[in-house]
């Protein structure tokens, strides 16, 4: 995989919105934090545009992403927030200049579209991490921001987390891939569909019915994406919903059942996803996943 250049003081970074609309007030804390880090922020021309729930129409959002990808002075592109919309524009993007001048693409949730597409076609690392919309209003540091900065500046990332009763022990290395489960499901069979063989798969999700989680896991299983993994890392499964007739299992139990027959390490409760403690993950990088009965280590 190709590693984009790490950031240094005075570098220019872009902020654009490829999905849901956003206001100046919602990203002001992030702009302040980036300035504190010594970075110069360039906003997309259409970042505050509005078209129904989107940050402008498809053409406006495409234009902002294309311009940031093509600008050699921009060293990283932050997607302002998630929601839905990147899937609608991914096939309109010309990545030819980005391939010649790789830069960090940062975000999670809906940004899974970009992570998946870029990894499959171009072999360039991206960053699954906190987005400007999620920066604390008081501009105080937390794990999400601290690990984001470490990843962007090339510091070592190594996570030791609490064990979970559903974990499966083992020690494996592999390229980290994945992201939001609903988006991985939506990308199946498209040009942005991921290859999971021999890789460490990360999944997380938000605001889904439990039976939807089961359906998506069954799709991954039936399509062979779970069979040949090196390992599985399960992040936040946040604000899950149930029907009047209960499904009978929580999200972690559903996932554990789907991978029960496979012999690779599985870690539940990793601090990443739609949670405040959303730690940075370098997608496309080789990682070590070491799950034992006493500890869990994910090391880049």
* Catalytically active residues, by annotation: 109, 204, 274
Q: Hey, what are 182's tokens? A: 């609903």
Cα separation, 194 vs 185, in Å, equals 10
Please say whether the beta carbons of 76 and 68 come within 8 A.
no
Strand partners for 168: 266
Parallel, antiparallel, or unpaired for β 170-180 and 158-161?
A: unpaired
Cα separation, 287 vs 280, in Å, equals 13
Q: Hey, what are 206's tokens? A: 């938000």
Cα separation, 144 vs 134, in Å, equals 9
User: Which backbone phi and psi does 213 adopt, to 5 degrees?
Assistant: -60, -45
H-helix or E-strand spanning residue 27: helix 24-36
């Amino acid at each position: 995989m190709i590693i984009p250049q790490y950031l240094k003081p005075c570098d220019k970074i872009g902020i654009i919105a490829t999905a849901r609309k956003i206001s100046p007030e919602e990203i002001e804390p992030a702009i302040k934090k980036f300035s504190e880090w010594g970075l110069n922020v360039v906003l997309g021309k259409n970042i505050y545009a509005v078209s129904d729930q989107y940050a402008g129409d498809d053409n406006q959002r495409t234009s902002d992403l294309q311009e940031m990808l093509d600008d050699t002075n921009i060293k990283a592109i932050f997607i302002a927030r998630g929601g839905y919309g990147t899937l609608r524009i991914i096939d309109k993007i010309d990545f030819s200049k980005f391939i010649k001048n790789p830069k960090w693409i940062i975000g999670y949730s809906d940004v899974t579209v970009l992570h998946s597409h870029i990894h499959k076609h171009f072999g360039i690392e991206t960053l699954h991490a906190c987005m400007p919309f999620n920066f604390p209003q008081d501009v105080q540091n937390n794990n999400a921001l601290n690990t984001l900065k470490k990843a962007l500046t090339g510091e070592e990332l190594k996570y030791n987390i609490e064990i979970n009763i559903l974990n499966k022990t083992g020690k494996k290395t592999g390229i980290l891939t994945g992201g939001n489960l609903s988006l991985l499901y939506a990308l199946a069979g498209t040009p942005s569909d991921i290859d999971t063989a021999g890789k460490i798969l990360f999944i997380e999700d938000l605001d889904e019915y439990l039976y939807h989680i089961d359906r998506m896991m069954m799709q991954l299983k039936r399509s062979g994406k779970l069979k040949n993994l090196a390992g599985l890392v399960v992040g936040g499964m946040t604000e899950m919903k149930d029907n009047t007739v209960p499904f009978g299992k929580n999200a972690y139990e559903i996932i554990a059942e789907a991978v029960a027959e496979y012999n690779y390490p599985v870690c539940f409760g990793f601090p990443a996803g739609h949670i405040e403690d959303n730690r940075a993950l370098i997608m496309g990088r080789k990682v070590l996943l070491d799950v034992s009965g006493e500890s869990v280590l994910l090391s880049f």
